[in-house]
Structure 1
Amino acid sequence: MNKKILIVEDDVVFCKLLTRYLTKNNFEVMDAQNGKDALELINLNNFELAILDYRLPDITGIEILEKVKSKNPQAKVILITRYGDQDVAVKAIDSGADAFISKPINPDELLEVIQGFE
């Protein structure tokens, strides 16, 4: 088994699609559709990689990014959003994101970014 990955995405169908895709590529994947559930998973697990939607129903991906990095400073974080403006990208990188990807996301391209961290 490769890296333990957390996916936080409020679009349930897209979230499950990414989870299945990365699981088939030998990653251990856990997912959440909101910040509250994501924070619970972070408290119970040590993730090596987090793929976070910027806009969630309860908190932002930046807030989750900060929790992931405070628990595991070596964790890699990819922030995703369909609102791909420069301000969000700059804020994500300034907050410690290792990559920023605008939706729509091609799963193969996401996999390439993840493999680039190894």
Structure 2
Amino acid sequence: MTQKILVVEDDARVSELLVRGLTEHGFEVTAVADGIEAISTFAAQRFNLVITDVILPGLSGLDICRQFRRINPEAPIIMLTALGNTDDKLDGFDAGADDYMVKPFELRELMARIRALLKRSGATTIPASNVLSYADLKVNVATKEVIRAGNAINLTPKEFKLLEYLLKHPEKVLSRAEIAENVWDTHFDTGTNFIDVYINYLRKKIDKDFAVKLIHTKPGMGFMLREEL
């Protein structure tokens, strides 16, 4: 079955390049030029993946990303933008994006990321119990509920994915490169610190109010989930 991709891009030249390149690689592509049309199109059809600009007429890419996540939480989203600093990337990830590419970009790299996201989304399975747990921390993968010692904790989509990955590999040191590849589906850029930023976000929500800490840094190696004072 042909996989369907929605392209949300108001730059006609970029949109045309994306449509042509993706079509040549066997995808069925629908292109729209503003955020409002993107919402109605996404709600009316089933897409395997979305590629969206950030700065758009009608609604921003961040706004439509949040709405896409409410309509279909499973479809991977790649953001394309000229805004490339760490804060911009964090905003995109917090809105629910799965990957982030800065313009100008190579179509070959975009295709590699598309294939990785589609492979991952197609292979994703939920444990029979739907629940991951470690110590007094419980996460329901289906409902996205996070509870520690009976207290509900609210996480952003990327914080949740990071915690889920930690819970699936308890008491194992996870390198930044491994986390980047498996949580963000990208190679770790040593010039940015977004993984450290998200680890700190998680610590504030998961560990700050509890005597026993679960998220730990191993200097020079990475991070791990382990129960210790």
With the shorter chain as reference, the TM-score category is over 0.9
Give the whole-Å Cα distance in 2 for the aligned partners of 1:4 and 1:53: 18
Q: CA deviation at 1:58?
A: 2.1
Higher mean alpha-carbon deviation, 37-46 vs 16-25, is at 37-46
Query: TM-score, normalized by length of structure 2?
Result: 0.50
Q: Deviations over 1:1-20 (max 9, x none)?
A: 43211110110111011011
Q: Which stretches in structure 2 are left out of the alignment for 5+ residues?
A: 120-229
Instruction: Give 2:20's aligned residue.
Output: 20
Work out whether 1:47 is the aligned partner of 2:47: yes
Match of 1:5 in 2: 5
- Percent identical: 36
Q: How many residues align?
A: 118
Check conservation: 2:7, 2:32, Cα contact below 8 A.
yes
How far did 1:42 drift?
1.1
CA distance in structure 1 between the aligned counterparts of 2:69 and 2:28, rounded to whole angstroms: 19
Structure 1 unpaired stretches of 5+: none
Structure 1 residues 44-90: Cα deviation after superposition (integer angstroms, max 9, x where no partner): 11112110101112221111112222121111000111121221100
Conserved? CA contact 2:82–2:103, under 8 Å: yes
**d(CA) in 2 for partners of 1:109 and 1:73?**
24
Q: Which residue of 2 is the match for residue 63 of structure 1? A: 63
The amino acid that maps onto 2:19 is: T
Instruction: Compute the RMSD of aligned alpha carbons.
Output: 1.2
Larger Rg, first or second structure (1 or 2): 2
Please tell me the residue identity of whatever aligns with 2:44: L
In structure 2, what is the equivalent of residue 89 of structure 1? 89
Q: What is residue 100 of structure 2 aligned with on the other side?
A: 100
